[in-house]
């Protein structure tokens, strides 16, 4: 989820009408009449063509991007909202008036996306998401601005803080999600985000009395402070997991007397927080309560069935006590019951801490426990391969001084465990806890506020965070030897600049500035600049960074316009040699003219998806990987030498979040072939269709 605006690059273009859920956003019948509204604001700092058709620089100009829901014509560049309309915004005694010059496709009707400079006039940038602003439209001629009839602000299920059931996983194949204490301040999450946190586990959701799910048993999950911190993390491309249970308090399944009541509480937490993953930290009496875990497993199986029946996805993971020899018997029995109940268990996370007696080498103990767990999971899920079983594992130590005397998990232990996780393909690392990830005034101290071991600030977070991946694939064995890493034409980058945001998960919008490379009919091989041909040169690029964009990502949604058509009138293709899929690449802009990094018509073959691609589009100009600066490589992973953005597909009947989960899955460093031969293996079809993402390949 991202609050970064998707800019339409390329000025006025022919665009399709936008519909969501069968309701046309071009319809508008509820007059706002310049009335004051309450909402929220974020900021963006991208440069390029705004949706009103002129060039904007949100890093240096005062302006605002308003929700797509205020647009009333098919062509946003000619919409009345672009003609003499401004927004007056007030927050904590400060007011500014800024012109509407852009559109925010990801914003609700009451959500403003201000330029960075405008946002700074009202609030510090580090707040990221500000709730409780008041604002209204003001016009040059006093005319009314109408609220679209499909505005999400009139739908309680889509109101801020109450998103719908999750419709796709927001997590990559390997990630770190340390625990944050929900009885503390949400500022812990904000501070860790500034230090590089991407994923976090919120511990814990407990019964607040009478079968009521609450943070720590005393704070509503709809608490504005926590919602703001969560949205801030999502705004930087991250995501959260809600963890139920813990070592103290009343576990929800013990408090709720029926499966239906329990499922309802789980559903409410998913709804309010917009989750795609739930964690269940079960220990002590909660793990031994067979009646409670029977209700829990039935409720989870039913909830997963409901979500997935609606085209969504809800992952369930269990966090369980472990010794160096793996799970105890009650943990194994609970998992067996979950399997019988039909729960799709995505991960089993072991608590590699508090073994009961002093352990000299906590790093090795965590590795030994993981190895033992691998065998235990294989006996519960015998049809899974070794790799699939490793990918079902999580590992959560208590950093620094543990509750058990003599147990100290050091930064060296963290490095060893992280290396082991990467080697084996363990899905998740975590630790207890974010609030302890700092040195104590005195080493050797057991504390809730510091680790008690020698470390720098957030050192465990940074060590474990290095395992975050974007589903990168191994170099296919069938590709030619002697791989080279050429730069795309026109790029001055010798290598990618290191970035604190190398794991893209936010959406992006390639939109299409007009290229100076003219299209030449609809030819494939032999089109301008593209060598192609049956005996292509087969230049192999081993460190290409691939991302994906979908039907949903252009402004407005569904336009699928491309800047330099060669074979297609709009982005598309099935991946065969004769019908390659549209590819967007970086571009440079000089004197108002854009030049593509690879000439239009250049063909690529991407073994990870077994399809051919053709350059027909330019990446957008947003400020994050899935928003587009493909030319500079500044936000690509270190070592990337080129950036290729695949058109995935999608349509009005598909799930937005499922499409973007597919984009995240296809994001990462991989090997590609430029100017390939025409006889390479192909899996024909769009990369995303019918809410289904393409298969990826290692061979």
List residues with catalytic annotation: 283
User: Contact at 8 Å (CB) between 667 and 626?
Assistant: yes
CA 268 – CA 381 distance, rounded (Å)? 30
Backbone angles phi, psi at 478, to 5 degrees: -80, -5
Which residue, among 195, 153, 128, has the nearest Cα to 32 in the 3D structure?
A: 153
Identify the CA nearest to 272 among candidates 318, 223, 312: 223
Query: Rounded CA gap, 531 and 674, in Å?
Result: 9
Helix (H) or strand (E) holding 188: helix 187-194
Counting beta carbons within 10 angstroms of the beta carbon of residue 247, is it exposed (0 to 12), middle (13 to 18) or buried (19 or more)?
A: middle
Alpha-carbon distance of 169 to 696, in angstroms, equals: 17
- Which phi and psi (to 5°) does residue 376 adopt? -65, -45
Task: Pick the closest to residue 575 from 535, 628, 512, 524 (CA basis).
Answer: 524
Q: Judge whether 421 and 371 are in contact, CB under 8 Å.
A: no
**How many Å apart are CA 449 and CA 434, to the nearest integer?**
9
- Cα separation, 78 vs 100, in Å, equals 13
The region that residue 327 occupies, defined by phi over 0 for left and psi between -120 and 50 for alpha, beta otherwise, is beta
Angle at 26 between CA 20 and CA 29, to 5 degrees: 105
- Per DSSP, helices labelled H in 259-410 are 259-273, 285-288, 290-309, 329-341, 362-380, 386-390
In contact, 354 and 377? CB cutoff 8 Å:
no
Quick check: 237 and 198 in contact, CB under 8 A? yes
* Measured torsion, CA atoms of residues 90, 93, 96, 102, in degrees rounded to the nearest 10: -30
Question: What is the secondary structure of 194-244 as a DSSP string?
Answer: HTT--EEEEEEEEE-SSS-EEETTTB-TT-HHHHHHHHHHHHTT-EEEEEE
Preceding peptide of 204 cis, ω within 30°: yes
List, in sequence order, every beta strand (DSSP E) within 105-212. Answer: 111-115, 130-139, 146-148, 175-176, 179-181, 199-207
Alpha-carbon distance 284 to 328, whole Å? 11
């Amino acid at each position: 989820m991202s609050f970064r605006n998707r800019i339409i690059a390329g000025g006025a273009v022919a665009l399709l009408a936008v519909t969501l859920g069968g309701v046309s956003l071009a319809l508008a019948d509820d007059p706002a009449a310049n009335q004051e509204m309450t909402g929220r604001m974020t900021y963006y700092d991208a440069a390029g063509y705004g949706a009103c058709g002129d060039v904007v620089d949100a890093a240096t100009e005062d302006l605002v991007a308003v929700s797509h829901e205020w647009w009333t014509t098919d062509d946003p560049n000619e919409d009345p909202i672009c003609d003499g309309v401004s927004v007056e915004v007030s927050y904590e005694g400060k007011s500014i008036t800024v012109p509407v010059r852009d559109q925010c496709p990801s914003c609700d009707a009451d959500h403003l996306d201000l330029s960075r400079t405008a946002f700074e006039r009202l609030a510090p940038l580090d707040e990221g998401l500000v709730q409780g602003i008041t604002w209204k439209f003001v016009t040059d001629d006093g005319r009314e601005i109408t609220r679209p009839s499909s505005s999400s602000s009139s739908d309680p299920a889509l109101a801020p803080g109450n998103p719908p059931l999750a419709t796709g996983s927001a997590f990559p194949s390997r990630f770190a999600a340390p625990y944050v204490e929900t009885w503390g301040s949400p500022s812990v999450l904000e501070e860790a985000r500034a230090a590089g946190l991407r994923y976090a586990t919120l511990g814990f959701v407990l019964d607040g009395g009478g079968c009521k799910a609450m943070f720590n048993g005393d704070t509503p999950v709809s608490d504005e402070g926590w919602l703001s911190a969560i949205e801030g993390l999502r705004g930087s491309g991250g995501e959260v997991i809600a963890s139920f249970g813990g070592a103290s308090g009343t576990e929800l399944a013990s408090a709720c007397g029926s499966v239906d009541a329990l499922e309802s509480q789980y559903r409410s937490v998913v709804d309010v927080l917009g989750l795609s993953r739930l964690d269940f930290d079960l220990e002590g009496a909660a793990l031994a309560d067979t009646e409670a875990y029977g209700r829990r497993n039935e409720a989870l199986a039913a909830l997963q069935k409901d979500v997935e029946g609606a085209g969504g996805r809800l992952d369930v993971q269990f966090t369980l006590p472990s010794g160096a020899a793996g799970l105890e018997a009650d943990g194994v029995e609970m998992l067996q019951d979950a399997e019988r109940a039909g729960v799709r268990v995505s991960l089993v996370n072991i608590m590699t801490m508090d073994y009961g007696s002093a352990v000299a080498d906590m790093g090795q103990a965590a590795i030994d426990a993981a190895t033992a767990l691998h065998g235990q999971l294989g006996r519960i899920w015998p049809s899974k391969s070794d790799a699939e079983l490793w990918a079902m594992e999580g590992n959560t130590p208590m950093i620094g001084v543990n509750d058990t005397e003599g147990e100290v998990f050091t930064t060296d232990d963290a490095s060893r465990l992280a290396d082991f996780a990467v080697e084996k393909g363990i899905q998740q690392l975590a630790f207890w806890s974010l609030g302890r990830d700092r040195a104590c005034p005195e080493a050797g101290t057991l504390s809730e506020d510091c680790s008690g071991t020698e470390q720098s600030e957030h050192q465990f977070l940074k060590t474990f965070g290095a395992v975050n991946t974007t589903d990168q694939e191994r170099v296919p064995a069938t590709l030619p030897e002697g791989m080279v890493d050429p730069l795309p034409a026109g790029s001055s980058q010798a290598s990618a600049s290191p970035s604190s945001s190398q794991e893209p998960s936010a959406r992006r919008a390639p939109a299409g500035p007009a290229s100076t490379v003219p299209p030449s009919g609809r030819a494939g091989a032999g089109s301008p600049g593209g060598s192609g041909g049956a005996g292509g040169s087969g230049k192999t690029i081993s460190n290409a960074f691939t991302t994906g964009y979908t039907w949903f990502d252009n402004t407005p949604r569904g336009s699928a316009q491309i800047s330099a058509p060669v074979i297609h009138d709009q982005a598309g293709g099935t991946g065969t040699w004769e019908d390659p899929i549209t590819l967007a690449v970086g571009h440079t802009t000089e004197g108002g003219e854009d030049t593509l990094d690879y000439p239009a018509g250049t063909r690529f073959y991407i073994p990870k998806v077994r399809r051919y691609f053709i350059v027909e589009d330019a990446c957008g100009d947003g400020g994050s990987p899935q928003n587009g600066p493909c030319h500079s490589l500044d936000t690509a992973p270190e070592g990337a030498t080129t950036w290729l953005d695949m058109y995935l597909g999608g349509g009005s009947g598909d799930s937005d979040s499922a499409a973007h989960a597919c984009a995240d899955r296809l994001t990462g460093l991989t090997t590609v072939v430029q100017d390939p031969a025409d006889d390479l293996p192909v899996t024909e079809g769009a990369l995303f269709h019918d809410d289904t993402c393409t298969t990826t390949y290692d061979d």
